[in-house]
Amino acid sequence: MTTVIDGKKLSEEIRNEIAAAVKTMVDAGRMPPGLAVVIVGDDKASHVYVSSKKKACEAAGFYSREIALAGDISQSDLIYTLEQLNRDPQIHGILLQLPLPSHLDEFAALKAINPAKDVDGFHPVNVGYLHLGVDTFVPCTPLGVMEMLKRHNIDISGKNALVIGRSNIVGKPMAALLTKANATVTIAHSRTRDLPGLCGQADILVAGIGKPEFVKGSWVKEGAVVLDVGTNSVDDPTSPRGYRLVGDVEYTEAARRASVITPVPGGVGPMTIAMLLANTLKSRQQFP
């Protein structure tokens, strides 16, 4: 029997635990965790993500601030905004929604965020700590995957883990976390040879490439644990919305072979926001 991990339910459980911790904090007269989300320009999808982050924050009792900046803002004005948030005592977490418009330097902007408030874990100091195996802020999506494995008591130590995708947001931090958990980790990417062969050896397979159903179900090893980080919209005239969401893994056949699998939607996706709240609470606990 395949276990299908319900990421929505797990995310709700975690968000309830966080809300209870925040209530205890506020009842004791302490300031709640505060998250600032900075969004530049009017990309529709980014605004949808940001408003769901804001809603989740408020439901957990956080202080939440959304800062929407014009799409033509200068690099120095963006950095000035981030520096003001660095100094703001009500703000414990700063998230700069990516991608930024192309005239802005993403790396320089991320570097301007105080690493102690970098709840996305994208600042080079935190990326360095993660790769040194030092406790730090870890990017929310790979952290969510690790939390899913932990809460389902899935053994990682000594297992062959294959991470497909080498992005800074998912693939690289995912590989670092699995390595720290004593897996033998391979990172695959667009130039990898014989991906089906590598998948066939993977006890744990994480797909984060952003290509709909790229990983074929027939490649999955019998009994593998499959974590699908992709959320891709594909045209579907039979659906009332005209599209449907699919992962990076061909689900039906993969689910037949896997021992554990995450669905799309309702798998890894909802865990990302829960981990953003967890990181912001962790940050709050490190401030007086």
When the beta carbons of 167 and 186 are compared against ligand GUN, the nearer one is 167
Q: Shortest Cβ distance from residue 268 to ligand GUN (Å)? A: 12
When the beta carbons of 20 and 107 are compared against ligand GUN, the nearer one is 107
Q: Is the peptide bond before 265 cis (omega within 30 degrees of 0)?
A: yes
Q: Which of 43, 88, 105, 120 is catalytic?
A: 120
3-state secondary structure of 207: strand
Q: Which two tokens stand for residue 247?
A: 């992962």
What per-residue string of b and e applies to 37-56 under the rule 16 or more CB within 10 Å gives b?
A: bbbbbebeebeebbeebbeb
Q: Is residue 53 flagged as an active site residue?
A: yes
Q: Is residue 120 flagged as an active site residue?
A: yes
Q: Shortest Cβ distance from residue 223 to ligand GUN (Å)? A: 31
Q: Shortest Cβ distance from residue 125 to ligand GUN (Å)? A: 16
Q: Is residue 228 flagged as an active site residue?
A: no
Which residues, including other chains, have CB under 8 Å from residue 96's CB and lie 6 or more apart?
A: 38, 82, 109, 110, 113, 120, 122
Q: Which of 6, 8, 54, 97 is catalytic?
A: 97
Q: Which of 53, 159, 221, 282 is catalytic?
A: 53
When the beta carbons of 17 and 43 are compared against ligand GUN, the nearer one is 43
Which residues, including other chains, have CB under 8 Å from residue 35's CB and lie 6 or more apart?
A: 53, 57, 62, 63, 64, 65, 91, 92, 93, 94, 95, 119, 276, 280
When the beta carbons of 130 and 140 are compared against ligand GUN, the nearer one is 140
Site membership for ligand GUN, residue 202 (CB under 6 A):
no
Site for ligand GUN in 69-128 (CB under 6 A): 95-98, 120
Binding mask 162-201 for ligand GUN (x = CB under 6 A): -------x--------------------------------
How many residues touch ligand GUN (CB under 6 A)? 8
- 258 vs 228: CA distance, rounded Å: 12
When the beta carbons of 56 and 254 are compared against ligand GUN, the nearer one is 56
- 226 vs 262: CA distance, rounded Å: 7
- 133 vs 178: CA distance, rounded Å: 11
Q: Shortest Cβ distance from residue 230 to ligand GUN (Å)? A: 12
Binding interface with ligand GUN (CB under 6 A): 95-98, 120, 140-141, 169
Q: Any idea which residues carry the catalytic annotation?
A: 53, 97, 120
